Copies of this chain bind each other. A is one copy, B any other.
Amino acid sequence: MFFSNIIWIVMDYRYSNMLSEMKQSEIRELLKYASSDDVISFGGGMPNPQAFAIDDLKEIIDYLIENHGKDVFQYGSTAGIVTLRKEISKMLSETEKIKVSENNIIVTSGSQQGLYASAKVLCDPFDPVITEMPTYIGALSAYNANKVDIHGVEMDDDGIMTEKVEDEIRSLKNSGKPPKFIYVIPTFQNPSGRTMSLERRKHLLEISEENDIPIIEDNPYGELRYSGSRIPSIKSLDKNDSVVYMGTFSKIMTPGLRIGFIAGPQEFVDRINLLKQALDLATNTLSTYIAAEYLSRGIMKKQIPKSIDLYRRKRDIMLRALADHFPDDSEWTKPDGGMFLWARVNSRIDTTLMAKEAISRGVMYVSGSAFYPHMERRDEMRLNFTFPTDEKIEEGIKRLASLIREKTAHL
């Protein structure tokens, strides 16, 4: 009490318990290094700026400001402008054979908002959900922020093992808490690069229907196929509104404009709309106009083949470098598309511990454990091949291989 007049009292914030399990994403932490010129980054999930149609975007924006200046800078509707939703409906019909009205589509601020909002409208805290294991780190982050109980199910080269999904549902049902949804990225999965087989897709849909548990199908990479032939989206097989479909323009237009979308049953979309009013009121108006114009002018159709050519080459360079340099006791996926491949090294190497050392050697990856709900494995890594230059892919894999070889020698 004696010193009370001079003690500097700082406000004591009592934070919520709801977010207690959230932790700094390893990717976001590591990305700080990604901008350094000395570090070759396989870490982020960034498209290559060479794939941005910058001139077309400039033309579109100039046109929009000159002709719709008062609209593109004003508040927009929560669902997103109807012209964009109609264009998305058309695109889904043409590319994925998904038939969905513009009224069943809501534009989101990136697909990250879709991940967060879909969990929030379906789940109360501690409700279980099923995901692939490993799965997208952004989904884990969205689900953790909603205090959702994440149950990962193993994958093999044909995607999530649907029989194990059945087991997990049975076990959760027996415990009195059936899962609220099943979240999958069936095509060129992040992080693994794997694609779920048609058989498995059909089986997952059956499981969903039999158990009355909706599927959330996330398809950010589907258009970026470099080899093999297209496999129908689960949503295109769905006749009973069992599937909520999520897409994004981040990998096929640009990520900075933050345009994602959800297509689903009316009540689901209405609830997302209501929640979105609380989350951010509406997606960036200018961006929604740009995206609509980008589709209606056919820039999307013109630009995607260019991205495919660019990324196919980069994927091939990385696969070749891995074959040339990585030790024999390691293995990796050979993705037919997307942005990532997934490598597993000697099981006694902890890639999470090795990550900082790798950065000091001038190469960066995201350790596999970050993609597991509870860090179930620690001997894997995600490697992005879309962002680095061709030369850096070769050089980065060499650096990584030499570090792994040294580690293995000291085991």
How far, in whole Å, are A211 and B127 apart by their CA atoms in the complex?
35
A9 within 8 A of B: yes
In the complex the two chains form, is B74's CB within 8 Å of A286's CB? no
How far, in whole Å, are A153 and B56 apart by their CA atoms in the complex?
53
How far, in whole Å, are A281 and B388 apart by their CA atoms in the complex?
22
A144 within 8 A of B: yes
Q: Work out how many copies of this chain go into the complex.
A: 2
The interface residues of chain B lying within 8 Å CB-to-CB of A258 are 109, 280-285
CB contacts under 8 Å to B, within A247-299, are: 250, 254-258, 265, 267-268, 271, 274-275, 277-287
Max chain B Cβ within 10 angstroms of own Cβ: one of A28, A75, A214, A257: A75
In the complex the two chains form, is A120's CB within 8 Å of B19's CB? yes
Size of the A side of the interface (Cβ < 8 Å), in residues, is: 87
In the complex the two chains form, is A73's CB within 8 Å of B52's CB? yes
In the complex the two chains form, is B19's CB within 8 Å of A277's CB? no
A112 within 8 A of B: yes
What is the minimal beta-carbon distance from A303 to any residue of chain B, in angstroms? 12
A227 within 8 A of B: no
How far, in whole Å, are A123 and B16 apart by their CA atoms in the complex?
5
The interface residues of chain B lying within 8 Å CB-to-CB of A357 are none
In the complex the two chains form, is B65's CB within 8 Å of A10's CB? no
* A114 and chain B: residue at smallest CB distance: B280
The interface residues of chain B lying within 8 Å CB-to-CB of A254 are 73-74
The interface residues of chain B lying within 8 Å CB-to-CB of A241 are 10-11
The interface residues of chain B lying within 8 Å CB-to-CB of A80 are none
A212 within 8 A of B: yes
In the complex the two chains form, is B61's CB within 8 Å of A145's CB? no
Contact with B along A200-226 (1 / 0, CB 8 A): 000000001100101000000000000
The interface residues of chain B lying within 8 Å CB-to-CB of A212 are 11-12
Max chain B Cβ within 10 angstroms of own Cβ: one of A61, A65, A120, A277: A277
In the complex the two chains form, is A46's CB within 8 Å of B58's CB? no
How far, in whole Å, are A255 and B73 apart by their CA atoms in the complex?
6
How far, in whole Å, are A77 and B34 apart by their CA atoms in the complex?
12
A18 within 8 A of B: yes
In the complex the two chains form, is A11's CB within 8 Å of B209's CB? yes
A389 within 8 A of B: no
How far, in whole Å, are A9 and B39 apart by their CA atoms in the complex?
54
In the complex the two chains form, is B9's CB within 8 Å of A122's CB? no
What is the minimal beta-carbon distance from A61 to any residue of chain B, in angstroms? 6
A161 within 8 A of B: no
In the complex the two chains form, is B10's CB within 8 Å of A144's CB? no
* A127 and chain B: residue at smallest CB distance: B16
In the complex the two chains form, is A69's CB within 8 Å of B54's CB? yes
- 25 of the cross-chain contacts (CB-CB < 8 Å) are A11-B214, A13-B122, A13-B265, A14-B180, A16-B121, A16-B123, A16-B127, A24-B274, A25-B277, A31-B77, A52-B70, A73-B257, A74-B256, A75-B255, A109-B284, A110-B282, A112-B280, A116-B279, A138-B277, A138-B281, A145-B278, A145-B279, A257-B284, A258-B283, A279-B280
